[in-house]
Amino acid sequence: MVNFLLTFVITMTEDMRIRASTVRIWKMVYRAQDVMTEHPISLRPEMTCDEAVALFRDNRLTGAPVVDSRGVLVGVLSLPDLLGARAEIDYTETDSDELTQRIGEPGFHLEPLEGLVSDYMTRAVQTAFPDTPVEILAQTMLDYRIHRIIILRQNEQIPVGIVSSFDLLKILARDIPSASREAKAAAV
């Protein structure tokens, strides 16, 4: 989404008069709804960890919301949650990029893990609404060292989308070349 900001520029003239002018500055303003994956694949708390791993593998996912029978968000489960449980280490403190890249590769295998999704899911989930600016999503991901935020229907606990760190990188990569061209054109 493109919005513009109407900015007043105050300058001092040579004869010490103050002059105000209006400048229209175009700025890309993205919101969660612009970048989210709609209708995310969800897990159920009573699913086995093996079922969750198969779902992750088959859909090339590294995490998914966990919802109850009414579709209400009750948690989130990520591949690092399962790997951390398997290795008895905290994967939030390590770089799991290599592992998340390998999940969809042929031959990737995670040994069966006993238990249910509810045993390993994170219950304190970071959420946002569709109109949340992506800058806030990115800062939340940095602050909490997470890779996904569940997007909820306004005033409800029903997931309508998910924004991953990869989604944010895609818009950054898409907008950097155009921002560079605009900066060069403005300098001429």
DSSP labels, 37-83: EES---B-TTSBHHHHHHHHHHHT-SEEEEE-TTS-EEEEEEHHHHH
Per DSSP, the three-state class of 15 is coil
Residue-level pLDDT at 92:
47
Share above pLDDT 70 across residues of the chain, in percent, rounded to a whole number: 63
User: 33 or 176: which carries more pLDDT confidence?
Assistant: 33
The 10s digit of each residue's pLDDT in 50-77 is 899 889 989 989 999 999 999 999 999 9
pLDDT over 50 (residue 91): no
- Residue 165: CB atoms within 10 A of its CB come to 16
Share above pLDDT 90 across residues of the chain, in percent, rounded to a whole number: 49
Residue-level pLDDT at 122:
93
User: 123 or 174: which carries more pLDDT confidence?
Assistant: 123
Q: Please state, in angstroms and rounded to a whole number, the distance separating the CA atoms of residues 157 and 17.
A: 56
Q: Is the dihedral of CA 130, 136, 140, 141 positive or negative?
A: positive
User: 25 or 89: which carries more pLDDT confidence?
Assistant: 25
Name the CATH topology of 32-171.
CBS-domain (3.10.580)
Structure tokens at 161: 């989308």
Residue-level pLDDT at 84:
62
Which of 21-30, 90-99, 139-148 holds the top average pLDDT?
Answer: 139-148
pLDDT over 90 (residue 162): yes
pLDDT over 60 (residue 5): no
With bands split at pLDDT 50, 70 and 90, how would you rate the model's confidence at 2? very low
Structural domain boundaries of the chain?
32-171
Residue range 101-111: mean pLDDT, rounded? 57
Residue-level pLDDT at 53:
87
